[in-house]
Amino acid sequence: MWRIGNWLRNLAVQLGEALNLSSPTNANLSEDDLQAYEQLLMEILQATSDSEGDERVVYPLLAENIAYLDLNLAEVLQAWATRTLAERQPNQARNIAVYIVNFSNLIREFPWGNKASNIEIAIAGYEVVLTVFTREAFPQDWA
């Protein structure tokens, strides 16, 4: 079942790329801006991973980059995670998904910035990890 899910996710990513589909929010960003968002996302996920989700480590990073905590980051998170999780082996995908959940929990509770944007970023993270934590892949967690 996992292979079929990966195949479908890969197909969706490839179709989106082939059709040059982009979201309305990201469509207005330059390539440099998109790279900046993705770089920030990597830094945030690394800090989340290294600190095991410690807000004392992650919140200062978020505060320093508060201008990037918007719907663009939510879309970059969703696109990057969808692509990355589809390319990884199940154990690697699970680990990455855990980091995304931890980050999503942190951004949801982040006390600064636009609360609605923070929640949208969290939702994007939660939605994408649901592709990893399926009933078929983790039946013990769904019981």
pLDDT at 19: 53
pLDDT tens-digit map of 76-106: 999 999 999 999 998 899 999 999 999 999 9
In-domain check, residue 25 = no
For every one of its 143 residues, what pLDDT tens digit does the chain have, with 9 covering 90 and above?
445 555 555 555 555 555 554 444 565 789 999 999 999 999 999 999 999 999 999 999 999 999 999 999 999 999 999 999 999 998 899 999 999 999 999 999 999 999 999 999 999 999 999 988 888 887 887 76
In-domain check, residue 135 = yes
In-domain check, residue 119 = yes
Task: Flag whether the pTM goes above 0.85.
Answer: no
Nearest Cα to 21, choosing from 75, 68, 71?
75
In-domain check, residue 122 = yes
In-domain check, residue 113 = yes
Task: Please tell me the total count of domains within the chain.
Answer: 1
Q: Which domain holds residue 92?
A: 2-20+30-142
Residue written as token pair 């320093």: 64
* Whether the Cβ atoms of residue 13 and residue 86 lie closer than 8 Å to each other: yes
Mapped to the 3 state alphabet, what secondary structure does 80-108 carry?
A: HHHHHHHHCCHHHHHHHHHHHHHHHHHHH
